[in-house]
Structure 1
């Protein structure tokens, strides 16, 4: 990505918007990158409100994904044996070679 200092405010908003909508394609890491990449820029006094909106929505989306994935992981690890065949079907087991 180009240096932030060389881009205009409109370009900041445009890139942040694209990264925000890209995160809806099951890419929560893109939301985190969007937040981290534009955080300093959004703290400036001249930062557009749209930029702040997109980076904080990206942070919120990333946090929601994190909570959902860790909840699913906790449930799966603790209840896998009780689920029987259903859990076996959704588990990926890589067979060991000879």
Structure 2
């Protein structure tokens, strides 16, 4: 997406929309927000809307990192403890790995 042709107000509106959409348990949207608006927030000549865009980009980055930490933690715990959890873990699994009988 080329946001360079959009007005500064439109950029702020779009950044705010993606930030709010991330609250619907969509951390990928926050990651996209950081990727698209990082240059606008930190690398271009300052303009009035930039401070709000910068705020949304920083909060989106923090939200993405928190979600990544949560997901990585869950993956590690589930993969290491799955066999110990027995049937409960089997109900959570789509593919049940074959093990020793």
TM-score by length of 1: 0.87
The worse-fitting range, judged by mean Cα deviation, of 71-80 and 24-33 is: 24-33
| Equivalent residues of 2:40, 2:50 under 8 A apart | no
Moved >3 Å (runs of 4+): none
Q: Distance in 2 between matches of 1:83 and 1:91?
A: 11
Partner Cα separation in structure 1 for residue 25 and residue 94 of structure 2: 20
SS of the equivalent of 2:53 reads: helix
User: What is the root-mean-square deviation of aligned Cα atoms in Å?
Assistant: 1.4
- Name stretches of at least 5 consecutive residues in structure 1 with no aligned partner: none
Q: Which residue of 2 aligns with 1:25?
A: 24
The alpha-carbon deviation at position 93 of structure 1 amounts to 2.1
Within 5 Å, give how 1:7-22 maps onto structure 2.
7-22=6-21
In structure 2, list runs of 5 or more residues that go unmatched. 97-101
Aligned match of 2:99: none
